[in-house]
């Protein structure tokens, strides 16, 4: 006789389909997160309490009242949907080290020479990545970046850092009865702890590059290595308020614990497009003005006879022209868009 064990949802009793990679199994019928993997026994899976739906709606309408982009349109805004979910985020405590080698210039008297500079560094940081890769969500990415930018105090144990950052609670405390009061869907993870370690180390490398590589110097070499000392999985509340306006659907995403805006996709109003156009035209004018020097014979005569500062006289018009070009290009692109992203 063959005995087949069927895992059932702790909340509604429905049968659950599982794979060896599953950390939690979200019930397809009621949305309750069921513990499945041994990772739960290690006390490194957490959740964060969420604000209620009515508070998120209050924050949305408060924002609409204050936002000048919605001036004259407030009565036309219709709420299409309010969606709240628990998104899984992997956190890791990374002890990293590496070096960077880049070109620089040193001045001795009136002469400049190229030199190669070498810098070693050590980075101990808390890194965050979304635990879902199958579907890209700009709001989830922005939420993960928010935790990396926070500049939080780090403690010896990752769980204490997370308590300080967001007031995490062990997911073991999320009983079916407590979940009934939350009524937020839990999104499942796409990869487990070992894959998360690799991804967290990669992300730590990217962050180290942003911190230590000079943006205005030619890079010769960069190396990074390290260890992921601890990992934790946090289910964090994320709310989205979708609204219909002038034939389009837009949304504002909120940090479900603190009520802060994470990201917003909004229509570009006509007055803003006019401002973008004016700035782009200003950029064209600046680029044309500084480019004019290179076509002027008198300018080249002055440069040729200059005893000091000839290099600066050659470079400054080029920098001015480049600044004008970038200004025109950046605001020209903004003018062409019908939607703007506000972080």
Packing angle of the helix pair 310-336, 297-305 (nearest 10 deg) = 140
Q: What is the DSSP string of 81-111?
A: EEEEEEEEEEEEEEEEEEEEEEEEEEEETTE
Q: Which residues pair with 225 in a beta bridge?
A: 97
Q: In this structure, are 228 and 276 located in the same domain? A: no
**pLDDT for position 82:** 92
147 within a domain of the structure (yes/no): yes
Same domain (yes/no): 169, 297: no
Who contacts 234 (Cβ-Cβ below 8 Å, separation ≥6)?
45, 46, 47, 48, 88, 89, 91, 162, 166, 168
The separation between the first and the last C-alpha atoms of the chain, rounded to the nearest angstrom, is: 60
Domain that holds residue 333: 272-342
The tally of domains found in the chain comes to: 2
Question: Same structural domain for residues 225 and 307?
Answer: no
Q: Is residue 79 part of a domain?
A: no
Same domain, 110 and 205: yes
- Examine residue 102 and state whether it is found in any structural domain, yes or no: yes
On whether residue 125 sits in a domain, the answer given is yes
What is the helix (H) or strand (E) element at residue 34, kind and residue range? strand 33-35
Do 116 and 168 sit in the same domain of this protein?
yes
Are residues 316 and 188 part of one domain? no
Residues 229 and 286 grouped into a single domain? no
Domain C-terminal end among 187, 220, 235: 235
In this structure, the answer to whether residues 141 and 92 fall within a common structural domain is: yes
Residues 313, 231 within the same domain: no
Q: Are residues 228 and 281 in the same domain?
A: no
Measure the CA angle with vertex 209, ends 221 and 263; round to 5°: 150
pTM of the model as a whole: 0.75
Cβ atoms of 162 and 232 closer than 8 Å: yes
Quick check: is 5 in a domain? Answer: no
Q: Which residues contact 269 (CB under 8 A, 6 or more apart)?
A: 69
Q: Are residues 143 and 189 in the same domain?
A: yes
Domain membership flag for residue 173: yes
Q: What is the pLDDT of residue 339?
A: 47
Helix (H, G, I), strand (E, B) or coil at 141: helix
**Shared-domain flag, residues 306 and 184:** no
Helices (H), the chain: 53-66, 138-149, 158-166, 176-182, 193-212, 270-291, 297-305, 310-336
Return the biggest CA–CA distance within the chain.
101
Residue 11 lies in a domain: no
The answer as to whether 256 is a domain residue is no
- Cα-only R_g, the chain: 27
- In tens digits, the chain (343 residues) has pLDDT values of 334 456 788 788 888 877 655 667 778 788 777 776 554 545 788 999 999 999 999 999 888 888 776 666 777 788 889 999 999 999 999 999 999 998 888 777 677 788 888 889 988 888 999 988 776 788 888 888 888 776 556 778 888 888 888 899 988 888 777 777 777 888 888 888 888 999 999 999 998 998 888 887 888 899 999 899 889 999 999 999 998 877 778 888 999 999 998 988 776 555 565 666 667 677 777 777 778 877 777 777 776 777 666 667 777 877 877 777 777 676 666 554 544 556 5
DSSP sequence for 270-330: HHHHHHHHHHHHHHHHHHHHHHGGGG-HHHHHHHHH-SSSHHHHHHHHHHHHHHHHHHHHH
């Amino acid at each position: 006789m063959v005995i087949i064990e069927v895992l059932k949802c702790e909340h509604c009793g429905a049968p659950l389909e599982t794979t060896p990679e599953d950390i939690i199994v979200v019930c397809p019928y009621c949305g309750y997160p069921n513990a499945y993997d041994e990772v739960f026994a290690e006390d490194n899976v957490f959740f964060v309490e969420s604000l209620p739906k009515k508070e998120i709606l209050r924050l949305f309408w408060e924002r609409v009242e204050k936002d000048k982009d919605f001036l004259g349109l407030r009565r036309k805004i219709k709420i299409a949907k309010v969606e709240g979910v628990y998104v899984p985020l992997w956190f890791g405590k990374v002890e990293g080290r590496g070096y960077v080698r880049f070109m620089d210039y040193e001045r001795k008297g009136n002469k400049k020479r190229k030199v190669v500079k070498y810098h070693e560094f050590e980075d101990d940081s808390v890194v965050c990545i979304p635990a879902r890769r199958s579907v890209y969500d700009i709001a989830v990415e922005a939420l993960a970046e928010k935790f990396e930018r926070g500049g939080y105090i780090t403690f010896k144990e990752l769980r204490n850092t997370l308590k300080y950052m967001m007031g995490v609670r062990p997911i073991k405390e999320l009983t079916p009865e407590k979940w009934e009061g939350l009524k937020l869907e839990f999104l499942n993870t796409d990869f487990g702890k070992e894959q998360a370690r690799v991804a967290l180390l990669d992300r730590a490398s990217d962050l180290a590059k942003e911190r230590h590589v000079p943006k205005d110097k030619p890079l010769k070499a960069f190396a990074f290595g390290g260890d992921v000392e601890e990992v934790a999985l946090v289910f964090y509340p994320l709310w989205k308020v979708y609204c219909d306006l002038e034939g389009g659907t837009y949304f504002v995403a909120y940090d479900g614990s603190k009520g802060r805006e994470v990201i917003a996709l909004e229509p570009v109003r006509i007055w803003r497009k006019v401002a973008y156009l004016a700035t782009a035209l200003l950029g064209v004018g600046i680029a044309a003005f500084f480019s004019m020097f290179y076509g002027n014979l008198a300018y080249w005569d002055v440069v040729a006879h200059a005893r000091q500062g000839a290099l600066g006289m050659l470079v400054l018009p080029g920098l001015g022209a480049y600044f004008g070009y970038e200004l025109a290009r950046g605001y020209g692109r903004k003018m062409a868009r019908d939607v703007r992203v506000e972080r």
